[in-house]
Structure 1
Amino acid sequence: MKPNGIPPALLEKYLSGACTDAEKEIVEAWYASLDGEPRYLDHLPDAEQDELRHTTFGEIRRELDMTEERPVRRWPWHWLAGIAASVLVVLGIFLVGNMKAIRLPELTVTAKKPIPSKALPVTTFENTGTQIVRHELPDGSVVTMHPKAIIVYSTGFANNQRLVRFSGEGFFDVKKDKKRPFHITSGDMDIRVLGTSFNVKAIENQKQFEVDVVTGSVQVTAQGQSFDKQEVILKPKQQALFELDSKRLISKTSPLQAKKEIYQPVTIIFEETPLNSVIEQLEKRFNVSISLANPGLAKCGLTANFESQTFPSILEILCTSLDVTYAISDHNITITGEPCE
C-alpha cells in the first residue's frame, strides 16, 4: 500500500485500539512502507495533514501524561517513536544542508527461550546490547532496561502471581492490579507494588542498591539469614538505599539535583538547533555525558518539541530522526552516524 493510501481516521482508530485484525494489517503494512519516504505526508491534502498531526500528537501526549489512576494502554515503543518522528518531519525536523530518510535504529537484544523446569517454565530476558531497551511483561507492565540488566520471571506469570527477579538498572512502569501485587527481588531486597513507576539500581558490583519512586507508593523490604527484617514505605520523590556490606536499609527524600535523572520527564523545545547545541542542552537537563563519534554530526540540526518526556524517549526519537544510533555505558552516551553534508 502506498503511504498516501492511509486515512487519518484509520490511524486514529489504530491508536485508540479499536481496529479490527484486518484494519491492523492495513495500518502495519502502511507503516512498513514508509522507509525511505520521509515526506510521505506531502501526498495528503492540507486538511488531512492537519487532522493527522492533531490526532497523533494528542494521543502521544495523553499516553505520556498518564497519571497513576488512569488505565494504562501499551503501544509498541518502536511504533510510537516512529509515528512521532514521522509527524515531526512534517513539523520541521531537518538536517543542516541535507534531509536524511528516517529509519529506526537497530537494537541488539536477546530474549532467551523459557527454561524448562519441574515446577514452572521460566523466561529470562537480558539486554546484551549497548542501548536502553523496553521489555513488556505478561501483565502489560513494562521495564525499560539498561545494558547488562537481566529480568527473570515465570512464563506468563503462572499461578496468578507477579513475581520477577531483577539485576542491573531499569525503570519499572507497573500495571495496576489490586488483586495481584507486583514483587521484584534483587538479592536480599524485595520491592512490592500495586501499580506505580520507579527506578531500580541493583548492580551486583556496587556497594548499595537503590529504589527511586516517581509515582504511586512502593514497599521495600530487606531480609536475610544474617540480619533482621527491615521495611520502608516510599512515596513519590523518595528513595530507599540498601547497603550491601552493612545490610542496612534506609529511606530519604530524593536529593534535589541541578540535573535530572534520565527517567524523570522534562519539556524541551529545539528550533533549528545544531546537534552540538542539542547535546549541550540535554547535558544541562539530565545527569548524562554525550559525545559524537563523528564530529561531522555536529552539522546536523533539529526542530522538535518534546513535551514531558524522559531522556530515553528523547534520545530514541532524536536518533530515529537523524538516522543515527547510540551506545550507553552508565551515564555516558556516544552517538554514531554519517555526517551531514
Structure 2
Amino acid sequence: MKPNGIPPALLEKYLSGECTDAEKEVVEAWYASLQGEPRYLDHLPDAEQDEIRQGTFGNIRQELGMVEERPLRRLQLHWLAGIAASVLIAVGVFLVGNLKSVQLPEMTIKGQRTDPSKALPVTTFKNTGKQIVRHKLPDGSVVTMHPNAIIEYHTAFATNKRFVIFSGEGFFDVTKDKTRPFNIKSGEMIIRVLGTSFNVKAIESQKKFQVDVVTGSVQVTAAGKSFDRQEVVLKPQQQALFELDSKKLTSKTLPPQTKKEIYEPVTIVFEETPLNQVIEQLEKRFNVSISLANPGLARCGLTANLESQAFPSILEMLCTSLEVTYTISGNNITINGEPCE
C-alpha cells in the first residue's frame, strides 16, 4: 500500500516553520514513509503532481532569485519530475543552507529561535563495540546502549525541550525536569517523558519497535497508515509495540515473569562464590545465557553485595573484580579471561 499524499500547502507551511506540533508530526511521518520510494510522485494523481511541482519550483526560483519570465533554458519534464521527487523526499533541506529540521528540531535559547548558521553542533554516538555501554546526555540522563545502537542529539539541549533520535536497543534513565519534556524519536515512533526509566528496542530489521517501562510513565505516539494519531500511555510493567509494516501501535500489561529482563534491577549477594555458581544464579534471575570462553574461569571466586542493580551493572562489576571481559549478542554473553589459580 502506497502512502497517501499530503496537501502541498502543508509542505510549504512546514518548510517555513509555521506548522503546529500536530502538523509537524504528520509531515515527518509522511517523510519517513517515503524511505525507499524515490519515485513517490509517480503514485500521485496527475493534478496533485502538477500542483506539488509548481509550488516546489516556485519556491526554488524565489530562493535563488530567478526570474520566471526569463528562463535560461527549458528543462525536460521527466527531469523536472526527478528534481521534484528529490526535493520532496528531502523535506526541509531543499533550500540551500537550511538545517536538517526533519532530523533535529531547531535550538531555542531563552525562548528565541537561534540563527541556523550559528546552530549548536549535533552529537552522534554509536556503540561500535561488543559490550553494553553507558552514554551520558547533556541533561545528566543516561542511556545504556547495546552494540550497534545509535543516538543523535544537539550537544546542548534547548531551554524548553530535550530531543534525541535513537535506533537499536537501549535503557533510558531520564533526569526529571518538569519544564523540559524528554522526547525520543525512533523511526515513526515518538516517546515523551518527564523523568522515568524505560527500555527502547527500535531495530529496523526486526519490523517491530518495543517500549518497556520500569519506573514512571511514558507516552508513546505514532502515525497510522492513514496518518491518524495513535497514542498509548504506559505505567511500570507495561509495554508498547509498534509494528513497522502495519503501522499499528498497541499496549499491554506484562504478567509477572520468573526471569527478569536485563534492564530490571535485582538485589543479590555473592560471598567467595565460584564463577560457575555466580553464572547459575544470574541465569536464574535474568533472561540471559552466559558461557565461559575459558573453562578455567569457573574456579574464580566473587564477593559482592549488590542492591537494586541491573544486569549490565552486575556484569561490569564482575569483569572489573575478576579482570575479565565479555561480549554480548542479544541475550547471549561470553566471558573471556585468564583462569584463576
Smaller-chain TM-score bracket: 0.5 to 0.7
Task: Give the letter aligned to residue 133 of structure 2.
Answer: V
Deviation at 1:152? 0.3
Counterpart for residue 79 of structure 1 = none
**CA distance in structure 2 between the aligned counterparts of 1:264 and 1:158, rounded to whole angstroms:** 30
Counterpart for residue 285 of structure 2 = 285
Deviation at 1:273? 1.4
Matches within 5 A, 1:13-92: none
- RMSD, aligned α-carbons: 1.6
**CA distance in structure 2 between the aligned counterparts of 1:297 and 1:160, rounded to whole angstroms:** 51
1:306 matched to 2:283? The reply is no
Matches within 5 A, 1:1-341: 119-158=119-158, 160-223=160-223, 226-341=226-341
Larger Rg: 2
**CA distance in structure 1 between the aligned counterparts of 2:154 and 2:322, rounded to whole angstroms:** 39
Deviation at 1:271? 2.0
* Secondary structure in structure 1 of the residue aligned to 2:317: helix
Q: 1:159 to 1:272 in 2, by over 3 A?
A: closer
CA contact (8 A) 2:160 2:180 kept: yes
Normalised by the length of structure 2, the TM-score is 0.64
* Secondary structure in structure 2 of the residue aligned to 1:205: helix
For residues 104-155 of structure 1, give each alpha carbon's deviation from its aligned partner in whole angstroms, at most 9, with x where no partner exists.
xxxxxxxxxxxx9774421101100111111110011110111100000111
* Secondary structure in structure 1 of the residue aligned to 2:315: helix
CA contact (8 A) 2:274 2:300 kept: yes
CA contact (8 A) 1:151 1:165 kept: yes
Task: Give the letter aligned to residue 266 of structure 1.
Answer: V
Task: Give the letter aligned to residue 130 of structure 2.
Answer: T
**CA distance in structure 2 between the aligned counterparts of 1:125 and 1:190, rounded to whole angstroms:** 19
For residues 170-226 of structure 1, give each alpha carbon's deviation from its aligned partner in whole angstroms, at most 9, with x where no partner exists.
000111111110000000100000111100000110121110111111000012674
What is the number of equivalent residue pairs in this alignment?
226
* Secondary structure in structure 1 of the residue aligned to 2:228: strand
Structure 1 residue runs of 5 or longer lacking an equivalent are 1-115
Structure 2 residue runs of 5 or longer lacking an equivalent are 1-115
Task: Give the letter aligned to residue 336 of structure 2.
Answer: T
**CA distance in structure 1 between the aligned counterparts of 2:159 and 2:235, rounded to whole angstroms:** 29
For residues 301-340 of structure 1, give each alpha carbon's deviation from its aligned partner in whole angstroms, at most 9, with x where no partner exists.
1122211111111111111000001111111101000011
The runs of at least 4 aligned residues of structure 1 exceeding 6 Å deviation read none
**CA distance in structure 2 between the aligned counterparts of 1:227 and 1:302, rounded to whole angstroms:** 54
Counterpart for residue 86 of structure 2 = none
Instruction: Using CA pairs under 8 Å that are at least 6 residues apart, name the structure with larger relative contact order, 1 or 2.
Output: 1
Deviation at 1:229? 1.1
Counterpart for residue 18 of structure 1 = none
Deviation at 1:161? 2.6
Task: Give the letter aligned to residue 148 of structure 1.
Answer: N
**CA distance in structure 2 between the aligned counterparts of 1:339 and 1:307, rounded to whole angstroms:** 28
CA contact (8 A) 1:188 1:224 kept: no
**CA distance in structure 2 between the aligned counterparts of 1:290 and 1:249, rounded to whole angstroms:** 33
* Secondary structure in structure 1 of the residue aligned to 2:314: helix
**CA distance in structure 2 between the aligned counterparts of 1:117 and 1:251, rounded to whole angstroms:** 42
